[in-house]
Amino acid sequence: MDFPIVIITGDQLRHNYFVDQLNVHFDVRGVVSESIYQPKIEGEPDDISDLRRHFEEREQAERRYFASSEQMTLPHNWLLRVPKGETNSDHVFNWIMDKDPHYLVLYGSSIIRESLLNAFEHRTINMHLGLSPYYRGSGTNFWPLVNGEPELVGVTIHLATLDVDAGAILKQVRPEISADDRNHDIGCKAIIAGTEAMITMIKDFTAGKIKPQPQPEGGRLYKRADFNVEAVRQMWRNFDEGMIEAYLAEPERADRYPIIE
């Protein structure tokens, strides 16, 4: 089944993996790869050391899980690399329209503005890391682990709207967690599960098997500025003190937070 799509995403290994997997199943006519936000690491020496460890461990995990996607397997003229914030430029808009896709698929991009959303109304699909509405904003698979709630790690696939991460939900999924997983293992597993869900969802949505479900209100909102070294240390303590073992011993905890599967 060939559904022509254009993907707007980031420029890291996890984004390459997402593109490569979709390219197996769909007619990917173009990829806009945007340079992603690089967090500032500053503070006292111990703080800097722990923050560097956090991000270095993420990079190591992504290399374990996504090493086969070091380079996107796409023809060169199908890849448009742009700086952060340029996704909504006229140049990118025209480049996408020239590809004549049916769907615009988003993962890890900047906020998409009105011109593209209007051109692909009800056909712009976003993969959001996090389970809406329980966690909203930034770090939505980080904060559940800080707060001792691994059952609220997952992925929400939804229609994109002008209201950020507020469009109707098409599908949600939780990763399969193992007892020896750490935070970045769980994060990578969520990306894999979300990518697989995106593939099946596009096929089912096109076949008319999925009805978009409005997002409920509520949930916890975190902003990028909320991220700090003390939160990272609390997350590490949670893992060291058996958070994952406790969750796996009580899988019904997830039932308290229903998702759209």
pLDDT confidence of residue 204: 93
Mean pLDDT of 87-95: 93
pLDDT band at 75; cut points 50, 70, 90: low
Mean pLDDT of 15-38: 91
Residue with the larger pLDDT of the pair 97 and 76:
97
Other beta carbons within 10 angstroms of residue 154's beta carbon come to 28
Evaluate if residue 11 carries a pLDDT over 80: yes
Q: Are 169 and 202 in contact (CB under 8 A)?
A: no
Q: Looking at domain 4-256, which of 3.40.50.12230, 3.40.47.10, 2.170.120.12, 3.40.50.720 is its CATH number?
A: 3.40.50.12230
Evaluate if residue 1 carries a pLDDT over 60: no
Q: What is the pTM of this model?
A: 0.94
Percent of the chain beyond pLDDT 90? 75
Name beta bridge partners: 79.
31
pLDDT confidence of residue 61: 96
Q: Are 69 and 116 in contact (CB under 8 A)?
A: no
| Rounded Cα distance, 43 and 6, in Å | 40
For residue range 202-247, what is the model confidence (pLDDT) as tens digits?
999 999 999 999 988 888 999 988 999 999 999 999 999 999 999 9
For residue range 98-128, what is the model confidence (pLDDT) as tens digits?
999 999 999 998 888 889 999 999 999 999 9
Please choose, from the candidates 112, 96, 117, 129, the residue with its C-alpha nearest in 3D space to the C-alpha of residue 5: 96
pLDDT band at 165; cut points 50, 70, 90: low
pLDDT confidence of residue 25: 92
pLDDT confidence of residue 44: 86
Q: Is 222 helix (H, G, I), strand (E, B) or coil?
A: strand
In single-letter form, the type of residue at position 231 comes to: A
Evaluate if residue 37 carries a pLDDT over 90: no
In this structure, what token pair is assigned to residue 131? Answer: 């389970």
Mean of per-residue pLDDT scores for the chain = 91
- In the chain, where the domains are located: 4-256
For residue range 185-199, what is the model confidence (pLDDT) as tens digits?
999 999 999 999 999
pLDDT band at 164; cut points 50, 70, 90: low
pLDDT confidence of residue 231: 97
pLDDT band at 251; cut points 50, 70, 90: confident
